[in-house]
Chains A and B, each alone.
Chain A
């Protein structure tokens, strides 16, 4: 079945540092890949997505590239801010044979704390 593996956390950075959160996946067919973010006290929000190989998703300075050859979708940001402190989830949704499954399979989440 489908699975997502994220790097172990938590991750603690100083403001303006470079961020990478690793994500690898196992899936059949051609999944779509997502990063969701959960800010303290809030619900899950979609941060970015990529629906086919070599696509780059980007939003709010965050980027991730769909790498089919390495089955990866690593999240990066060049300069983090205190306001980026949150839990980040990598997720995939299966798509094969013309059928979009829709349901999401999530990684375990990575807690990011950014200090001033």
Chain B
């Protein structure tokens, strides 16, 4: 069990550029979640996948945001035409979901700074 990994750990980009983040969940976990955390706040839910199906998207996820989880393994989160308000920590979590709800394990996050 190597845990949830996220890459890159830090990303600095200019406003208007596109960025893509990757999350590798714990291998046997079927659910994968994306959250966003701004300074001094708790994480806010963005979207989640069960296997390769994206089951829910938050209203926070504007049309500039897109997430994929091809083959139900790793996931990518892309932000197009970045804005300064997108600056935040983007967290990924995974869990094994079945009859019971299991613990979500969080990755270290990708810190995005939009200049």
Q: Which A residues are within 8 Å of any B CB, using their own CB? A: 4, 32, 36, 42-46, 49, 51, 89, 91, 93, 95, 100, 102-109
Contact = CB atoms under 8 A, between A and B. Distances in A.
Interface stretch (B11-19, B42-50, B68-76): B42-50
B58 to A, nearest CB: 9
Contact of B33 (A4, A45, A100, A103): A103
B7 to A, nearest CB: 14
Contact of A104 (B4, B45, B56): B45
Contact of B95 (A45, A49, A102): A102
Interface residues of B, number: 25
B41 A104 contact: no
Interface of B: 4, 31, 33, 35, 40-45, 48, 56, 91, 93, 95, 97, 100-101, 103-109
Contact of A95 (B33, B35, B44, B101): B101
A42 B109 CA distance: 9
Contact of B48 (A95, A100, A102, A107): A102
B40 A104 contact: no
Contact of B42 (A45, A91, A103): A91
A73 B20 CA distance: 37
Contacts of B48: 102-103
A43 B40 contact: no
B57 to A, nearest CB: 11
